[in-house]
Amino acid sequence: MPLRETVNNSHSRWMDADGPVADIAISSRIRVARNLAGVPFPHLLDQTKAEEVIHAVRIAVEDKEAFSRVGSLELSLLSELSPVERQILVDKHLISPDLLNNFERKAVVLRDDEVISIMINEEDHLRIQCLMPGLQLQEAWDLVNQVDDALERTLDFAFSEKLGYLTACPTNVGTGMRASVMLHLPALKLIKQLGGVLNAISKVGLTVRGLFGEGTEALGDFFQISNQITLGQSEEEIINNIVAVVSQIITQEQAARNTLYKDRREFVEDLVCRAYGTLKYAHILSYEESMRLFSELRLGIEMGLITGIHARLLNELTVKIRPAFLIKLAGNEMSAHQRDIFRAGLIRKEFEQL
Amino acid sequence: MPLRETVNNSHSRWMDADGPVADIAISSRIRVARNLAGVPFPHLLDQTKAEEVIHAVRIAVEDKEAFSRVGSLELSLLSELSPVERQILVDKHLISPDLLNNFERKAVVLRDDEVISIMINEEDHLRIQCLMPGLQLQEAWDLVNQVDDALERTLDFAFSEKLGYLTACPTNVGTGMRASVMLHLPALKLIKQLGGVLNAISKVGLTVRGLFGEGTEALGDFFQISNQITLGQSEEEIINNIVAVVSQIITQEQAARNTLYKDRREFVEDLVCRAYGTLKYAHILSYEESMRLFSELRLGIEMGLITGIHARLLNELTVKIRPAFLIKLAGNEMSAHQRDIFRAGLIRKEFEQL
């Protein structure tokens, strides 16, 4: 799929909400860092050398035989896109915000369904990402491995027997792997047990971040649980550790939902249905309020209190209502207030069709 | 109409929202105090004497010929009703809360459409009330006069050439008349000019009260404007004075609505449509929040931003969602929380049908 179609479309495979434990685990992501042997790390590259890296990766992904199992990938230069369109790739969680700096020397590789994306010349020469709906860390890891193997048919990655994969930043050395799961934890928040749960996570070597990674708030009650350590543990150990912790949190969230259903059913129904009414009728909606309402409505869907709306729609809307996609849809720049009006109109239209 | 039908039905003629300037003036009311000559005031009467007053009024209103123009009136004892049903008469603005004290010696006379009501043995022997939709003080006064004349065919009212009609409380001596208009002033509140307007009213000898008279808050942005003085002015002067002041407030509210429409259209649309969405979907609604939402929605109806809902429904709901009517509908006592849930269910049902 050409990159333009990717940015014209707010949908990604990870939004389908059809994976395992999809009522709490939104998506699972594996990202590995790879660097070309004998080539300086990206921050040391000039434009020409950076383009050589891009060229090398292009040759590698065009090896149809190597990618026969993985599926067809397409490399695109970020300079093909407008700033707003580049931001949409970030909002869809396909690339990191860092890839937008000095975008002239950067590129991205995508599979049609956007499950696989490879950032080129971000902090490392390659960052291979696999993003899947639900709790599928192992599946994502298997797929990353296939991509890794296919690329290695052509590329020679910097590797040390002692340290493992070499990376630009020492914190990624070793497996070079980051594994993360995005969880939706509204019930734990409502029964005021969220703080304790999140504190416990950091004590077992994992990190909690918001919807858009480090430093972003817990918008929409989304929490990204990921590993801090890449060295000294095998990939399987890292994944097993995260899955074990995440499964425990999922059990706690499920228990919190059961408590709410049993003891505070009217309270939850009121919360959920008010959110639905506001989304359906409001004429001014900030991004923050929209995310809060989506979270409340999603809880209603996940608890079976609301039917006729699929979480897929809400996942897609979390991208559609970001400033970048709104500007793309409107076809012009807008003030924050104009965006709030446009956003509310967009959401009303979606909900009128339900 | 038997009294039981009155309390089983949340509708009253004054709720029809079809009178003059009905988009701002909800209702107009004239109340006069009359006492039987030669009979001590109610607070000095024992049960037997009180029943004699009731009997005298019953004879008077049964004079079909005298009431041929006014229409048929029916006298009922308050003891026929349960406490909840008596409260419904207060909530419908047909009697004062004071009539509920020592109700065994009290009675009420009603016309079918509830435009005319006569309280017997409240502070005075008779308090004749006429309550009409919209700004119709003069029309209400004309009707009260007809009732007064019809009653005088049988009854002899205490009257002094010097003081006018004699009343139990000196503040009612003279005309014995209270005239009031209920106004809906949400726009003046929204543009923060309400305080100034209300202050000005008290400087011209008028009083501002809430929906349920003295001491009640400005629930639903309803304000009752009434005269303070009953002595030294003719009835016509009192009415003309109130109509003049009320007309000015109506002009100010109208100007405030125009300002909102012109300068803050999205803000008002958002407010109004959110209110609609919340009323349509909430599962827990307090009386206070419901009244606030009704006020916002009513503003939308009055400004032409919302169609398909008539203010009549909202007027009727302001009675229906009071604790008394809710208990009557449910058929059993409820805690405040249970009422909030029942109230929300009732409102949802009304809005689903729209």
Q: Specify whether the CB–CB gap between A220 and A294 falls below 8 A.
A: yes
Same domain, B192 and B280: no
Same domain, B244 and B290: no
Kindly identify which residue of chain B lies nearest to residue A271, measuring between CA atoms: B282
Q: Specify whether the CB–CB gap between A136 and A19 falls below 8 A.
A: yes
Q: Note the ipTM here.
A: 0.90
DSSP A16: G
d(CA B280, CA B288): 16
Is residue A19 helix, strand or coil? coil
| Domain end point (choices B231, B257, B283) | B257
Residue A1, pLDDT score: 57
Is residue A288 scored above 70 in pLDDT? yes
Nearest CB among A277, A341, A344 relative to B280 is that of A277
Query: What CATH number should be reported for the domain holding residue A216?
Result: 3.30.590.10
Residue B349 sits at the chain A interface (C-beta within 8 Å): no
Residue B215, pLDDT score: 58
Surface-to-core class of residue A84, CB atoms within 10 Å of its CB (0-12 exposed, 13-18 middle, 19+ buried): middle
> Are A341 and B266 within 8 A, CB to CB?
yes
Q: Specify whether the CB–CB gap between B230 and B173 falls below 8 A.
A: yes
What are the Cα distances from residue A124, in Å, to A42, A98, A119, A159, A227? 6, 11, 9, 13, 19
Same domain, A144 and A271: no
- Total number of domains constituting chain A: 2
d(CA B349, CA B297): 17
Its pTM stands at 0.92
Q: How many CA atoms lie within 13 A of B213 on its CB side?
A: 13
Q: Enumerate the residues of chain A whose CB falls inside 8 A of the CB of residue B278.
A: 274, 277-278
Is residue B223 scored above 70 in pLDDT? yes
Residue B274 sits at the chain A interface (C-beta within 8 Å): yes
Distance from CA of A278 to the nearest CA of B (A): 5
Q: pLDDT digit string (tens) for A180-219? A: 999 999 999 999 999 999 889 988 889 998 877 665 667 8
Same domain, B12 and B131: yes
Residue B56, pLDDT score: 97
Taking CB atoms within 8 Å and a gap of at least 24, the contacts of A332-340 are: A337/A284, A340/A284, A340/A285, A340/A286
| Domain end point (choices A231, A257, A283) | A257
Is residue B170 scored above 90 in pLDDT? no
Same domain, A80 and A115: yes
Same domain, A171 and A243: yes
Q: Mean of the pLDDT values across residues A125-129?
A: 97
Helices marked H in chain A = 3-8, 47-61, 83-91, 137-152, 186-190, 194-203, 235-263, 265-281, 287-302, 311-320, 323-330, 336-352
Distance from CA of A87 to the nearest CA of B (A): 28
- Whose tokens are 């106004």? That residue is B183
> Are B284 and A276 within 8 A, CB to CB?
no
> Domain limits at A127?
3-257
* Average pLDDT value for chain A: 93
> Are B283 and A269 within 8 A, CB to CB?
yes
Confidence of residue A139 (pLDDT cuts 50, 70, 90): very high
> Are B281 and A273 within 8 A, CB to CB?
yes
Same domain, B283 and B253: no
Is residue B152 helix, strand or coil? helix
Q: Mean of the pLDDT values across residues B41-68?
A: 95
d(CA B325, CA B177): 30
State how far Cα B103 lies from the chain centre.
20
Q: pLDDT digit string (tens) for B255-266? A: 999 999 999 999
Distance from CA of B238 to the nearest CA of A (A): 45
> Greater confidence, A170 or B100?
B100
Same domain, B87 and B154: yes
Same domain, B111 and B191: yes
Same domain, A347 and A234: no
Same domain, B246 and B282: no
What are the Cα distances from residue B17, in Å, to B23, B35, B310? 8, 33, 8
Same domain, A31 and A105: yes
| Domain end point (choices B196, B230, B257) | B257
Residue B204 sits at the chain A interface (C-beta within 8 Å): no
